[in-house]
Amino acid sequence: MKGITFSPSTNFNCYCKIPTNQTSQPVKSLPQIQFPLFNSKNPNQPLLSFSINSTKNTQTPITQPPPLVVVGSANADIYVEIDRLPNEGETISAKTGQTLAGGKGANQATCGAKLSYPTYFVGQVGDDANGKLITEALGNGGVCLEYLKSLGKGVPTGHAVVMLQSDGQNSIIIVGGANMSCWPEKLSDQDLDVVKKAGIVLLQREIPDSVNIQVAKNLEEESDMVAKRFYPNATCVDYSQVKAEEMAARSAGVTIIMDAGGMDTPMPQELLNYVDILSPNESELGRLTGMPTESFEQISQAAAKCHKMGVKQVLVKLGAKGSALFVEGEEPIRQPIIPAAQVLDTTGAGDTFTAAFAVALVEGKPKEECMRFAAAAASLCVQVKGAIPSMPDRKSVLNLLQSVEVHS
């Protein structure tokens, strides 16, 4: 097995925080935060790196990496622990109940930040107790909150009822609230500015498709503007013909990862046109393509249909069967699960996997290492109850990877 290299996090804190008892206000430009462990010539190359098969560290100049930006949902998750789901017309008693911060967007943002990568969250909460709960959880997780808005006018924070069964599996009912209400017809220049400065943008479907389309379309338009600086007379730029040095200067070419979770309605083709990596689970892949996904062969065929729909890469989360990345024209990359000592709660495991994959990818790791890093993060997630509370830190993920390497 090849060595897996990731940068450590125990000796620095690269995040800005806002007081959690105040409503965050948008700022006009991305704050200039110093991240002291990155190479100035290649922001994806860490200054100090952790290698499972190497004990050497190298030191190089310092610069700031492009952030991970999550545009998405924030929910108050109302957990009820039950032995089984109720039958139709049946009332059952829950063992316990509690409210914890969650939502696919907030989960992914917190995961990115806890994995020691600079992470911004663009989203909305209500001016209520649940909104304060989520804001505090995000801030404590290290997420930069300049672009989190608190809505007035009685709009409640989004929430979800999570029915957690004794085997760790869950069923979830979502109430959109602020996630689906009062989004501006046009996102502010401040919101779009932080998106344009991202290394990767993570989207999900617990906010309106129109918001996701606006974010993705804006990035595409910015990308075309940059390309036309090299090809001013071209009406349509073929990026496959662009020289490497010109592609390096195309800083607006932000990777868009679309988590397919959320609304179960068909995904608009306009949105798919902008997506670089689509990340569904088995059932979401089946709904999206209208195809069965019970076997790996069927999953491969469904992924191929996604390629025909315009998505070049499909990252499928397969639960206990691991994960697979389907890149058009290439052999699938399969990643088995890294077994957990115990499975207490699978809530947020998919969000953890997607966000961890994004962090490794924006750091320039090979896709095989990205998937292994994500599998380790998801393995740790399912061992803790709750979504945001279960997001692992970077040191824990690296320790697990090292332990697996030693015993393999």
Q: For 210-223, how does the pLDDT look when each residue is reduced to its tens digit (9 = 90+)? A: 999 999 998 887 65
Question: Does domain 68-72+104-148+185-406 fall into CATH 3.40.1190.20?
Answer: yes
Q: Provide the 10 A C-beta neighbour count for residue 181.
A: 15
Residue labelled with tokens 């760790």? 168
Q: Which residues contact 374 (CB under 8 A, 6 or more apart)?
A: 323, 335, 352, 353, 354, 356, 357, 360
Q: Is 248 annotated as a binding residue?
A: no
CA distances from 331 to 313, 338, 372 (A): 12, 22, 17
Q: Which residues contact 253 (CB under 8 A, 6 or more apart)?
A: 223, 226, 247
d(Cα 305, Cα 290) in Å, to the nearest integer? 10
> Domains of the chain: which residue ranges?
68-72+104-148+185-406
Question: What are the structure tokens assigned to 254, written together?
Answer: 């932000």
Contact 141, 16 (CB under 8 A): no
- What pLDDT is recorded for position 15? 34
Residues in the chain, overall count: 408
- What pLDDT is recorded for position 242? 44
- What pLDDT is recorded for position 148? 97
Which amino acids are annotated catalytic? 351
Which amino acid, one-letter code, is at 19? P
Contact 108, 354 (CB under 8 A): yes
Q: Is 58 annotated as a binding residue?
A: no
Q: Is 140 annotated as a binding residue?
A: no
- What pLDDT is recorded for position 25? 42
Contact 202, 71 (CB under 8 A): yes
Question: What are the structure tokens assigned to 147, written together?
Answer: 């672009």
Which amino acid, one-letter code, is at 102? G
Q: 53, exposed or middle or buried, with CB in 10 Å at 0-12, 13-18, 19+?
A: exposed
Q: What is the DSSP string of 133-147?
A: HHHHHHHHTT-B-TT
CA distances from 159 to 35, 105, 170, 283, 406 (A): 34, 13, 15, 22, 42
Contact 259, 203 (CB under 8 A): yes
Low-confidence ranges of the chain (pLDDT < 70): 1-63, 222-252, 408
Q: Is residue 81 left, alpha or beta, with left meaning phi > 0 and alpha meaning psi from -120 to 50? A: beta
| pTM higher than the cut 0.85 | no
E strand segments, 176-322: 200-205, 255-262, 277-279, 313-317
Contact 325, 313 (CB under 8 A): yes
Q: Provide the 10 A C-beta neighbour count for residue 239.
A: 12
Q: Is 14 annotated as a binding residue?
A: no
Q: Is 77 annotated as a binding residue?
A: yes
- What pLDDT is recorded for position 8? 47
d(Cα 214, Cα 205) in Å, to the nearest integer? 13
**96: β partners:** 81
Phi, psi for 261 (deg, rounded to 5):
-70, 150
- What pLDDT is recorded for position 380? 96
- What pLDDT is recorded for position 290? 96
Q: 103, exposed or middle or buried, with CB in 10 Å at 0-12, 13-18, 19+?
A: buried
- What pLDDT is recorded for position 217? 92
Q: Is 105 annotated as a binding residue?
A: yes
- What pLDDT is recorded for position 36? 35
Q: Is 351 annotated as a binding residue?
A: yes
- What pLDDT is recorded for position 224? 55
